[in-house]
Structure 1
Amino acid sequence: MYFLTPIFILRLLWRSRANPAYRQRLAERFGFGTVRGSCIWLHAVSVGETIAARPLVERLLKEFPQHTLLVTTTTPTGSDTVKRLFGERVKHCYLPYDLPDALARLLRRVQPRLLVVMETEIWPNLYAACAQRNIPLLLANARLSERSMRGYARIDKLVWETLANVSLIAARGEQDALHFQQLGAYAEQVVVCGNIKFDWQIPTGLVEQGKQWRQQWGASRPVWVAASTHPGEDKIILRVFARLREALPELLLIMVPRHPERFDAVARLCAESGLPSVRRSAGSDFSSDTAIIVGDSMGEMLLWYASADVAFIGGSLVAHGGHNPLEAAAFGLPVVSGVHVHNFADIFPPLCEAGGAILVAGEAELYAPLLTWLQDAEVHHQTGVAAQHFFQQNQGALDCLMQSVHRLMKI
């Protein structure tokens, strides 16, 4: 890890060309910082994990008010999300690199009573440092796909030694639990809690705000949100949108790129489409003439869902692995996604089976379900209700996680 550190730094500098925040606060990456004092520590890599952890963070704040809550991330967008969602109610810094001296430096400062790691972040030195200091470690909402398991199996001895330092693995499902055991976790270390992402609740007033936005655009206009798009998807979305406009001239597209460094490029593509487009960040008023809104703002994805009729979830027409469809499902939106959704292999198949989503192989297949949903109110309603019902049926992971937290806090 020490040998690789210069590469980590060069990677940060490379990424900072598009997002200068990557070259800021470098001291935190080595365990230096202003955060001090005993705490409960929760680590969430980036935006998705931080949003998923929101119900857990709220419960921790409510049930352990006597403890400071530290939330760490590894990306600037994750950092921004922590500040936006929780403000001054939590402490925040970047997770240090997995170097013994950097971790020791942070642990001396924060002295955690418990470390909760969201999803699948297996850091050998971090886990060993916690075990050496008798700090309980909970791997929460833990997922491990077949593909990831095969990758970890190449370094099975190191993974086994690392997992031995985990107090409890709260797996999303039975298959995830089995995969962790196949990598060396003991059966008594693993409990199946379900997926905490189902325990997210729509914030009060959000649906009403979405209706207000639609009034600006024209309340009767159909609205399609293309969420978390990646390179290679934007042009496909725009071509399908042009076709849909032939049948539905009033259709409005909300294009939301996944990463801030892509905002400018996507805005240019939308402008070049020849259709009237507006950037959210420009602060301009939307009107009935607007054909495309570029969602180039942070923290408003839920508002876009609240304002839409149907949703495309990106990172899936290209081999990225897809993104979380559950927020769209919670709003009762029919969901369409590409077939590359292996990062959410525990969600998309049952959601599709429930009738709330459709997976398509490419551009040619994307057009038909969108046109059907936007033209046929009955089919649209049935699909949206199925998506929402699926979301509500699978809640309950948070209570299971909190039982584990209380148990570990007594150690």
Structure 2
Amino acid sequence: MPRAFLTPARCAYSALVWLAQPLLRRKLRRRAVAEPGYGVAVPERFGRYAPADLGRDGRGQWVWIHSVSLGETRAAAILVRALRERLPGMRLLLTHSTATGREEGARLLAEGDIQVWLPWDTLDATRRFIEQFRPAVGVLMETEVWPNLIAACADAGVPLALANARLNAKSEAGALRMAPIARPAYGALAAVWAQSEEDAQRLHNVGAKVDAVLGNLKFDVLPDAAQLSLAAGWRLHLTKPVVVLASSREGEEALLLAQLKQLGAAAQAVQWLIVPRHPQRFDAVAQLITDAGFGLSRRSRWEGEPPGQQGAVWLGDSLGEMPLYYRLAAVALMGGSFEPLGGQNLIESLACGTPVVLGPHTFNFSQASEMAVQAGAAVRSADMAVGVQDALALVQAPGKLGDAEACARDFMHRHRGAAAATARAIEQLMRSNAPISGAASARSA
């Protein structure tokens, strides 16, 4: 059993996660029916990697980054780019917990890199993972804190950091309720780099030693230039502006469709585009659109540019094309914010120069949301009905829309720099954990 912060509370926690393993296996089987990625390499979830020598040639060199799902992986992509600039020849060990995260992460791999599942947080699985790869440094993205994993790293002398760290009020309350487990785990992290002063204070409250506030990595995003160019070309041939409900969550599409029906002809001044957050919901959202009496045009069936704008609702049923959708749109309604789900990342839309209409629920990105509203790059709406009206008002006032687009670009420019700062902090953490080898020594050579 790992020795770091071994307490009765963690012993009880460890017993519970060990007993939960059959439930995890059953959950993976069920998820794999809709998302086959959950059926890939299942033994890795329990710390068993095949072949048995996988990753052994990079022991002591791996820069390990864990990005649990799609949003964290997109943030990790920004950090990986900065790390490769700072550490030429870096060998990346990339782990995930969700199928969408793993699929997105595969795009980040270079020759010599490895991608595997992060194991379930049992004592044996986390120990096997660390023994298998023995990273030079570990980086958890944003919110992922696992007590046994952190203990295994501490026992093995692997410095483990929490980067782009954020903690909303709800998560802080949960961590405080679980203080006998959470506080030692946060306290055992080798470094914590927070997104904002508010995040830093909450992290401090739950036991983390916050080293610095470095900002949000997502401000350094560089949207795919080919997608931006393609979308800009398509916009030249549109007869009316596009408004996208981006990264929509369950319940929000129905709210939008109901509002469009209520508005009738007034809603037809705009081409409506819905892009669900989760790919397993593409077909369900398509059915919602047709059941509501609207025509349906699916991105996956477009041949070349978008079809004629004849009243059909467009469905963005593809992965990895958010820059295309954002640039195609004049305004984005931000998914997750019109139901009490905390909101999705508005920064990607602003990086494409597309202003955002936010619903009332943005606790996942509270600081970025408030700053964007104050900067004139986003508008706050009370609910979906008001959000639709606010979006229509923007697209029907070219001067006002142009001002919002300029504010979005300026807002993004003013908040860049977290990626370079975080990459520098990771290199310093590696150097402080001498002896340095592999990627770090390549930097100093």
TM-score normalised by L of structure 2: 0.87
Match of 2:81 in 1: 58
Contact 2:272 2:314 survives alignment (8 Å):
yes
Q: For the Cα contact (< 8 Å) 1:139–1:168, is it kept in 2?
A: yes
Gaps of 5+ in 2: 1-16, 434-445
- Taking the aligned partners of 1:167 and 1:371, their CA distance within structure 2 comes to 48
Q: Per-residue deviation at 1:58? A: 1.1
Query: SS of 1:169's equivalent?
Result: strand
Equivalent residue in structure 1 for 2:265, among 237, 246, 252: 246
In structure 1, the partner of 2:308 is 288
- Aligned with residue 49 of structure 2, among 33, 36, 48: 33
SS of 2:416's equivalent in the other structure is coil
Secondary structure of the corresponding residue to residue 53 of structure 1: helix
CA contact (8 A) 1:112 1:135 kept: yes
Q: Which residue of 2 aligns with 1:231?
A: 250
In 2: Cα distance, 1:338 partner to 1:87 partner: 39
- Aligned pair in 2 of structure 1 residues 241, 374: CA closer, same or farther (>3 Å)? farther
The partner residue of 2:279 within 251, 257, 260 is 260
Equivalent residue number for residue 14 of structure 1:
30
Listed one character per residue, the Cα deviations across residues 54-77 of structure 1 (whole Å, up to 9, x for unaligned) are: 121112223323331011110011
- C-alpha spacing 1:157/1:248, structure 2 compared with 1 (3 Å): closer
Residue aligned with 1:336, SS: strand
Distance 1:383 1:240 in 2: 24
C-alpha distance in 1 between matches for 2:263 and 2:416: 35
Kindly provide the amino acid, as one letter, of the partner of residue 183 in structure 1.
V
Matched residues in 1 for 2:400 and 2:155: separation? 57
1:271 aligned residue: 290
Q: Structure 1 residues 349-358 or 14-23, which shifts more?
A: 14-23
State the distance in 1 between where 2:262 and 2:226 align.
34
Give, in whole Å, the separation in 2 of the partners of 1:141 and 1:94: 21
Q: Which residue of 2 aligns with 1:105?
A: 128
2:100 aligned partner:
77
Partner residue, 2:228:
207
- TM, length-normalised to structure 1: 0.93
Q: Which amino acid aligns with 2:81?
A: E
Alignment partners' CA distance in 2, 1:234 and 1:306: 21
Cα separation, 2, equivalents of 1:341 and 1:14: 30
1:360 corresponding residue in structure 2: 381
Q: Which amino acid aligns with 1:26?
A: V
Kept in 2, the 8 Å contact 1:130–1:137? The answer is yes
2:334 paired with 1:313: yes
CA contact (8 A) 1:244 1:367 kept: no
Q: Which position in structure 1 is the counterpart of 2:201? A: 178
Q: Is 1:300 aligned with 2:301?
A: no
Distance 1:240 1:89 in 2: 51
Which residue of the other structure, out of 151, 155, 170, is the alignment partner of 2:178? 155
Q: Determine helix, strand or coil for the equivalent of 1:141.
A: strand
Q: Say how many residue pairs are matched.
A: 407
Post-superposition offset of 1:248? 5.9
Per-residue CA deviations over 1:206-236 (Å, capped at 9, x if unaligned) read 3211123335xx3342111111111111122
Rounded to whole Å, the distance in 2 between the matches of 1:310 and 1:86 is 33
Given that 1:141 and 1:172 are in contact with CA atoms closer than 8 Å, whether structure 2 keeps it comes out as yes
Q: What percent of counterpart residues are identical? A: 36
Residue range with higher mean Cα deviation, 52-61 or 286-295: 286-295
Write out per-residue CA displacement over residues 290-317 of structure 1, whole angstroms, 9 at most, x where no aligned residue: 5322111111111111111110111111
Cα distance in 1 between the residues matched to 2:421 and 2:244: 33
CA distance in 2, matches of 1:164, 1:320: 28
Check the 8 A contact 2:271/2:309 in 1, yes or no: no
1:396 equivalent among 410, 417, 422 = 417
RMSD: 1.9
What is the alpha-carbon distance in structure 2 between the residues aligned to residue 403 and residue 277 of structure 1? Answer: 48
Structure 1 runs not aligned, ≥5 long: none
**Alpha-carbon distance in structure 2 between the residues aligned to 1:70 and 1:213:** 38
Query: Following the alignment from structure 1 to structure 2, what is the Cα–Cα distance between the partners of residues 160 and 232?
Result: 35
* 3-state SS of paired residue (2:284): helix
Is 1:68 matched with 2:91? yes
- In 1: Cα distance, 2:118 partner to 2:274 partner: 31
The reply on whether 1:194 has 2:210 as its aligned counterpart is no
Q: Take 1:58 and 1:364, find their aligned partners in 2: how far apart are those partners?
A: 40
CA distance in 1, matches of 2:329, 2:46: 43
Higher RCO, 1 or 2 (CA under 8 Å, sep at least 6)?
A: 2
